[in-house]
Amino acid sequence: MPLTDTAIRKAKPDTSPRRLSDERGLYLLLNPNGSLWWRWDYRYAGKRKTLSMGTYPDTGLRDARDKREAARKLLAAGVDPGEQRKAVKAAGEERDANSFAVIAEEWLARQAARMAPATLEKAQWTFNDLVNPWIGNRPVTEIDAPEMLKLLRRIEERGAHETAHRTKQRCSQIFRYAIATGRAQNDPTAALRGALAPVVSTSRAAITDPLKMGELLRAIDGYTGSFVVRCAMKLSPLVFVRPGELRQAEWTEIDLDGARWNIPAAKMKMRAEHLVHLSSQAVAILRELHPLTGRGKYVFPGERSASRPLSDGTINAALRRLGFDKNTMTAHGFRAMASTRLNEIGWAPDVIERQLAHVEKNKVRAAYNRAQYLDERIRMLQAWADYLDGLRAGGAVVVAFKRSQV
């Protein structure tokens, strides 16, 4: 007799599993613990096989019968229902394994050791916030150029043209990696050449006029916000490293007695270790800060968590609070300020470029420059700090300094 819901509900478990038979090979397996599993017995290629149809009551009697009938149709067509289920499951797992998000995560894990922390953080943000919500679960083989263009246009519509181009570049790296590892055959972003609005490059805002530089330095001294942020702003013009390098500085990298800051290659944009001489003014700032943050990892820890450095926009936000808008001064502008004034004053361009950690394109000169200019860089940074003190003090006349002769 066919099963009924009433008969199923009244069934009591025994000391060993027993069957509650329906019809056409379908039955419920009642286990001693009371669990009920739908099973369907069939024969394929002369062999007896069993297919699971789910559990009761999650799968009701009608649903179990529908599943049985679907399996019988496959069997009638010469298809083994069990093997067909395995194939569907394997295809789904392969689809998930070849999704954009999975491949992007794999690529980032391989690149992390060669990326600066700030670059890695930005790449993760690009994929997690701008890309994966729309195509993260899609297999890379199914993502086409129109779909990528729609995604990038969504970023463009916010006015973030540079971000759109950078996102396209990072997505292209994922597709090329998928091609190299045999999981894709083409990069759909390659067909988008010229499809995005061009980026109008503008120089980062920086104050380079000596009198206005003095005003900026005095404003920083008067900053009434976080002491950590004030110290970060006071140190910025003295060392003129990249903002990410400054905010991720660690106390283990700094030798206050030797007045040296050795930035590891992994933190540098060009992946080369960089030495920053600390002027007496820079050492004084760090010594004053040390009692507050010296027991932790970061020189400039985040305001919410000491286990993380200052956030990317903290110094820019502090400058805005002081009244310097984004078209007047930026955190990166301290580098342009130093480069501009040092060149105007007469310091050797090679010395300035080396201290800025810019890469020499000529490989022979690059090899030579790595070991040169240290003494001049030390003199330059101390002279620069003294010069800034003069600007900070104000006065109608600004006396420029010249580098000391060897």
Active site residues: 242, 269, 332, 335, 358, 368
As a whole number of angstroms, the distance between CA 339 and CA 364 comes to: 24
CA distance 300 to 402: 33
Number of other residues whose CB lies within 10 A of the CB of residue 252? 10
Asked whether the beta carbons of 273 and 264 are under 8 A apart, the reply is yes
User: Exposed, middle or buried, 357 (CB in 10 Å: 0-12/13-18/19+)?
Assistant: buried
Sheet-wide strand order for 26-30: 18-21, 26-30, 36-44, 47-56
Residue with tokens 């950078």: 166
DSSP classification of residue 129? I
8 Å CB contact between 3 and 15 = no
Could you give the CA distance from residue 35 to residue 344 in angstroms, rounded to a whole number? 84
Nearest C-alpha neighbor of 387 from the set 291, 279, 253 = 279
| Among the listed residues 202, 138, 212, 205, the one whose alpha carbon sits nearest the alpha carbon of residue 175 | 138
Q: Report the C-alpha gap between 127 and 104 in whole angstroms.
A: 8
Omega within 30 of 0 (cis) for the link into 57: yes
Are the C-beta atoms of residues 331 and 319 closer than 8 Å to each other? yes
SS3 letters for 208-274?
CCHHHHHHHHHHHHCCCCCHHHHHHHHHHHHHCCCHHHHHCCEHHHEECCCCEEEECHHHCCCCCCE
Extract long-range pairs of 308-313: CB within 8 Å, 24+ residues apart: 309/247, 309/248, 309/249, 310/228, 310/229, 310/232, 310/247, 311/247, 312/118, 312/121, 312/243, 312/244, 312/247
Q: Is 27 in contact with 53 (CB distance < 8 Å)?
A: no
Determine the straight-line distance between the first and last CA of the chain, rounded to whole angstroms. 107
